[in-house]
Amino acid sequence: MKALLNKEFKLCLHPTVFIYLALILMLLIPNYPYLVSCFFVCNAIFFIFQTARENGDALYSAMLPVSKAQTVKARCLFVVIIQAIDLVLLAGMCAFALVSMPHTNAGGTDHGLTLLAFALVLFAIFNVIFLPSFYKTGYKAGSAFLKGAIGVWIWIVLAEGLMIASPAIAFSANVPFFRFIAVNLDCFPKTATAWTAQAIAFGAGLLIYAACTAIAVRLSVKRYEQVSVQ
């Protein structure tokens, strides 16, 4: 596995990964839906799969003394590492933004653990759609990415839309549910209740990511075993 992962870094790492990871700076844009920055990381992952396909990575991997399952797991681990790096950068930018721009984000989720939780769910949705879809054929990266992108954007609209609407609904209609979201989830946590609520949200995001990614890997391996590499 270590050798295969080394292959992924040396032969399959696409330059757009660095460019799109740098778009974490979008978190410094005032009043912006910050989950959009995570979508670009998904786009970079698509370029990795597409470029590897064009360079004959599938045939090359088939000639190595490894199983199909191992090649799939190595690529999926590579994807997880990239997403983990983005999440670490996201957490760092949230901490930095708290000092440099400590105001409410009217364009979506505020800097905080809730944003990290939403990012985890976004990556979970992408993984569980894109990876099995790609490995069903082993070469249709474009259609797999389109399906994954649709799922990701539905989540972005729902998550960011909820954070935008909650304050208005909470304080105009005095709805307890939306007030709880506005006060405890859509903010940088300062109170014990907010820290608890966002920690639970982050934990739930981790569980969803782990479960969906595990399912994605299992389905990808099962489907790729049926693919004839030529």
- The type of residue at 129 is I
pLDDT given at position 100: 77
> Taking the CB of residue 209, how many other CB atoms lie within 10 A of it?
24
Rounded CA-CA distance 128/213 in Å is: 6
pLDDT given at position 102: 67
Q: Would you place residue 66 in the very low, low, confident or very high pLDDT band (cuts 50, 70, 90)?
A: confident
List pLDDT tens digits, range 69-124: 889 999 999 999 999 999 999 999 888 887 777 677 877 788 889 999 999 999 99
Nearest in space to 83 (alpha carbons), one of 49, 39, 142: 39
List pLDDT tens digits, range 114-151: 999 999 999 999 999 999 999 998 888 899 999 999 99
Q: For the chain, give every domain's residue range.
A: 2-224
- The type of residue at 42 is C
Average pLDDT rounded to a whole number, residues 199-212: 96
- Rounded to the nearest 10°, the torsion over CA 77, 79, 83, 88 is 50
Non-local CB neighbours of 197 within 8 Å, separated by 6+ positions: 180, 184, 185, 189
Rounded CA-CA distance 92/229 in Å is: 42
Residue 72 backbone dihedrals phi, psi, to 5 degrees: -65, -45
Residue 10 near residue 24 (C-beta atoms within 8 A)? no
- The type of residue at 134 is F
Residue 21 near residue 61 (C-beta atoms within 8 A)? no
What is the CB-side half-sphere exposure of residue 33 using CA atoms within 13 A?
A: 18
Alpha-carbon distances, residue 81 vs 10, 121, 123, 182, 189 (angstroms)? 14, 16, 12, 32, 27
Rounded CA-CA distance 194/114 in Å is: 10
Which residue is it, tokens 């490995």?
135
List pLDDT tens digits, range 178-193: 888 888 888 777 788 8
Residue 119 near residue 38 (C-beta atoms within 8 A)? yes
